[in-house]
Amino acid sequence: MTNSIRKIKFHPPQSKQSFTIHLDANFCTVESETNELVVASVEKSADRLLLKITSLESQPNLHQMLHVALDFLFGQNADLRSATIYADQKIEISRAAFYQLPSPWHFAQQQNKPETLIITNERQHPKRPILTAGTHYRRFVSSINKTISFRTVDIEKDLAIFHNWHNQPRVYDLWDLNKPIDELRTYLEKALADKHLIPMIAEADGAPIGYFEIYWAAEDRLAPYYDYEAYDRGFHFLIGERRFLGRDNTSAVVTSVMHMIFLDDERTKRIVVEPRADNKKVLLYAELVPGWKFIKEFDFPHKRAALLMAKRDDFFSAGAP
């Protein structure tokens, strides 16, 4: 087993408490704030994880604690493709199936909502969920030893740092939003009111590091340029904090936002992005993060763009996140 990280504390978005995970030799221990405990012996056979529960008490958080343990162990061992859990019964689960379960990373408030079709800009599409405030997703990423989370923008809390980010030359060269702070307030107000968009702050260990706009592609300006499907989603992003720049950090946060998007609605089978065709840094990350494929170049009114697409099956079958 990989032992680069031996202890972490993690607070799943769906839980009212956090958990501490210890990895000691071949044992993994998950402990809750109320002293509930799950201890499991851990063995690795080829690409399979064997998890044998050695201390098992009747407790309300057992299911979630096992999820936290599996996430930690899969994260520490990227080559593992499946797990077998021996407890009251034998349970087998693949890595790809496990990471498509909403818990313990996503609030999953939008799962399995009935479909109602409406029309926007002469395009028919499903009625989208009402935007909710707060944290949508949180995950400990072993590769960078940081917890990545995404929450809806809070204008009063985030406006100053949002303004600071957009007045950095490396950012406004691509976003063209080096505007006075009052204009950026208006920009965020419009983003929050836009029913096809979720403006989000990305955080690392609770500190803001970047801005993401996640959108439904069918209602977006991108829709006329490709054969969109009803639940396709896309995103724009910027890393505002220089300390978080770099291949490993950016790959981790992009992988995490893709994971969040796929968990947000199980009907989303594809994610699309349309960076500027000459944005070599973004195109490089498309090669590093699982699932992305180049589709074509095309002309927006304001830029020459590259259309990239990631399919759900490709993302998870490649071992993401």
Distance of alpha carbon 235 from alpha carbon 257, whole angstroms: 9
Q: What is the pLDDT of residues 139-195, one digit of tens each?
A: 999 889 999 999 999 999 999 999 999 999 999 988 999 999 999 999 999 999 999
Burial classification of residue 275, based on how many CB atoms lie within 10 Å of its CB (0-12 exposed, 13-18 middle, 19 or more buried): buried
Q: What is the pLDDT of residues 213-246, one digit of tens each?
A: 999 999 999 999 999 999 999 999 999 999 999 9
- Residues classed as catalytic: 274
DSSP per-residue letters across 203-244: EETTEEEEEEEEEEGGGSTTGGGS---TT-EEEEEEE--GGG
End-to-end Cα spacing for the chain: 19
> Within 10 A of 114 (CB to CB), how many other CB atoms are there?
6
H or E element at residue 186: helix 181-193
Residue 55 has pLDDT above 70, yes or no: no
Name the residue among 236, 232, 199, 212 with its Cα closest to residue 148.
212
pLDDT band at 59 (very low <50, low <70, confident <90, very high): low
The residues that bridge with 307 in the sheet, in sequence order, are 296
Considering only 53-57, 173-177, 280-284, which range has the smallest mean pLDDT? 53-57
Distance of alpha carbon 191 from alpha carbon 211, whole angstroms: 12
Distance of alpha carbon 86 from alpha carbon 101, whole angstroms: 20
